[in-house]
Structures are given as C-alpha cells and as structure tokens.
Amino acid sequence: MNNRLKVLRAERDWSQAQLAEHLGVSRQTVNALETGRYDPSLPLAFKIDQINPAYAAVMGGLLAGVGLLILFRHRASLGGVNVLVLYLQERYGWRAGYVQLALDGTITAMSIPLISPSAIAMSLLGALVLNLTIAINHQPGRYVAI
C-alpha cells in the first residue's frame, strides 16, 4: 500500500491534503499510509478503493469468479445465466467461463447507450477476470470421486 497510494495520488496530481479531504481523514493519516506506518481500516480501505475502479473491477471479478467456481464444483448455481451456462457445458462441452464471458459481454454491450464508457470498460474488465477464473479452473468431470 505504501508506494502504490503515493503513485496513485501523484497520477491525479493531488496533494496529501486533497486526498485526505476526499477520504475524510487527516493529512497525517495519508502520510502514515504512504510511508507504511499505518494500515487502513476496512472502511478506509473501501474509500481508497473507490479511487481506483480498475482495482475494484479486477478484485471484484476475481472474488465473484471464485464464488461461482465453488458453486459450479458442487453442481449448483445462482440460477439465470448460470443454469444455461452449466447446461451448455454439460450438453455440448463448451467451457462455462467462455460461454458466460460471451453472455456477459453481450449484456454489457447492450448497456452502451445507457452507461458511461469508463463504466463499460470497468464492467468488461470485471467480467473478463470473473470468467477467465472460471474458464481456467472449472473442468467438468474433474471433481468426480472414484
């Protein structure tokens, strides 16, 4: 955290005081975070994360992908698109992660007229990470006991 926060602040040309105001903390807290003398609390970490949407998209996609992977390994799903994806994988051998990536991409593409380009980009990034996590790690028949 100590070097990355300073780099992100510099990319935005913010002073420590400006970042502190944005986060709702003191300038000394920002200094302590940047120098590694202080680890952020969970609520503060979420505020810091709001500054970098790409990080949120990647980590959110990874965590959601792992959650779906756990469900898929136990032959369960969240319903909706997941049921279709698992059916297509079982019936035709199509990899669940790639099918779901295509469906997520289609849904995101349909939202282009409604959402900002940066939100579309972050949505696609999150979907890519989520579905690659599934595609790389989920293989039918891998978890069958003998």
Residues 142, 72 contacting (CB under 8 angstroms): no
Residues 125, 65 contacting (CB under 8 angstroms): no
**Mean pLDDT of all residues belonging to the chain:** 85
Q: Read off the tokens for 143.
A: 């978890």
Measure the CA–CA gap between 14 and 114, rounded to whole angstroms.
31
Q: Higher model confidence: residue 30 or residue 45?
A: 30
Residues 117, 124 contacting (CB under 8 angstroms): no
Output the pLDDT for position 137.
87
Measure the CA–CA gap between 123 and 115, rounded to whole angstroms.
10
Q: Is the pLDDT of residue 2 over 50?
A: no
Please tell me the least confidently modeled range out of 24-28, 51-55, 62-66.
Answer: 51-55
- Phi, psi (5° rounding) for residue 75? 55, 45
Greatest alpha-carbon pair distance for the chain in Å reads 62
Residues 72, 65 contacting (CB under 8 angstroms): no
